[in-house]
Structure formats: structure tokens, C-alpha cells
A and B are shown apart, each in its own frame.
Chain A
Amino acid sequence: GIQVEQSPPDLILQEGANSTLRCNFSDSVNNLQWFHQNPWGQLINLFYIPSGTKQNGRLSATTVATERYSLLYISSSQTTDSGVYFCAVCETGANNLFFGTGTRLTVIP
């Protein structure tokens, strides 16, 4: 199956700092989503972004499908941004999502 790698595995930031999370995948995809898993375990949709760039407030994401990677940018981080960020992809021709191992973000005041 498709391989999804995320980096870094752990990230600690001072409140107000910016960060970039990376997701590499091993094959062509027809879906790529970024999620934030909050401390209660809920998976919150951030972006559906199989290609191109999107922005939502302090968050933005870019996927370069031809080079098989996606980036999630978090600007002016807040303590509520803490949690695990997952990238998940669908292989072309499939519907189910394959998840990466996540980046655990801790924002300290």
C-alpha cells in the first residue's frame, strides 16, 4: 500500500511562533486531507487539498501532487493549536484514507 511519512514527529513551539509540517507520500493520490486531533481524540478536518494551496485563518496548506508532498503552515501559533496533526491520503482509484504517523505539536505559553 501507499506509504505516508510525516515530519517532524514532534515539535515544541513558543506561542506566537510559526511552523511548517510536512507530509510525503509514495504514490499518486486523488485525496489528501489534513486533520488536527485534539486532546479529546476528535479528528478535526483542516483541509481537503489533493493539489494546490488553501488558506483558512492562521492555517494554510500546499500540496504538490507531482512531487508527492504536502505542507501545512501554522502561523502565530496558540496553545489551542497543540495536539497531533495527521496527513491522510487516498490512492488513485481507492476511497479509503491512509494516515501518516502524525506530528505532535506542543505550543507553550
Chain B
Amino acid sequence: EPEVTQTPSHQVTQMGQEVILRCVPISNHLYFYWYRQILGQKVEFLVSFYNNEISEKSEIFDDQFSVERPDGSNFTLKIRSTKLEDSAMYFCASDRGRETQYFGPGTRLLVL
């Protein structure tokens, strides 16, 4: 069964550094998403991406976040200058629209 993949599985970075989280959505899916989950809390929506542009974003997704689909398969989330509070599990998801959203295994980000 096709699945969403994410790399790296874990990342440790210093406060103020830039990080790029990578995702490969399911190949025939059209909508792509990033969510995050701070330890012990619920999963929160960050941004959705369709037709090579952001379609929706939450209040969390401020100017230090950006997303890109640099080629036909990858979907990336960049955090420009990481803060301690960015430590979380980041999930990528994809779907064909109005159907099941499939989630990747997550990237656990720790900012020191």
C-alpha cells in the first residue's frame, strides 16, 4: 500500500538554526499538509498546499515557516530560525481531496 514518507525521523538543532523537514506524499495525491504535535498535546494544523500554492494556514504558521514543492515528489517545511517552542513532532499528510488523509510517520524535532 502506498504511504507517506518523511525524513529525517529525528532532528536535533540549536536555537536560531534553520531546519528543513522533508516529505514524499503519496504519488497521485493532490493536497499536502503539515501538522505538528507538541509532546503530550493534540495534533495541530499548520498549512495545506494545493496546485503549487498555500491553500490554508493556521495562526501558528507565521513568517518563519515556509513550504515548498521543489520537484514532482518532495514537499518540504522550512523553519527559518528555530525557537525552543518549535520542539515537536511534525507530520506530513496527503490526500486526493475530500477523502482519507494519510499521515507520514513524523519527524521529531528537538531545539536546544
Contacts and interface: CB of A to CB of B under 8 A. Distances in A.
Contacts of A98: 45
A48 B50 CA distance: 21
Contacts of B91: 43
A40 to B, nearest CB: 8
Interface residues of A, number: 21
Interface string A19-53: 00000000000110101000011110100100000
Indicate the member of A45, A97, A100 with the most B CB atoms within 10 Å: A97
Contacts of A48: 99-100
Interface of B: 31, 33, 35, 37, 41-45, 48, 50, 55-56, 58, 89, 91, 93, 95, 97-103, 105-106, 108
A43 B33 contact: no
A25 to B, nearest CB: 14
A41 B89 contact: yes
Nearest to B108: A41
B101 A97 contact: yes
Given A31-B101, A45-B102, A97-B45, 7 more contacts: A41-B37, A41-B89, A41-B108, A86-B43, A88-B43, A97-B43, A101-B42
B11 to A, nearest CB: 14
B43 A96 contact: no
B33 A96 contact: yes
A27 to B, nearest CB: 15
- Please indicate which of the listed interface residues B55, B89, B101, B105 has the most CB atoms of chain A within 10 Å of its own CB: B101
A68 to B, nearest CB: 19
Given A42-B106, A45-B102, A45-B103, A95 B43 contact: no
Contacts of B41: 101
Contact of A99 (B42, B50, B89, B98): B42
Contacts of A95: 31, 33, 48, 50, 55-56, 95, 97-98
A8 B93 CA distance: 27
A37 to B, nearest CB: 8
A43 B43 contact: yes
Contact of B45 (A86, A96, A100): A96
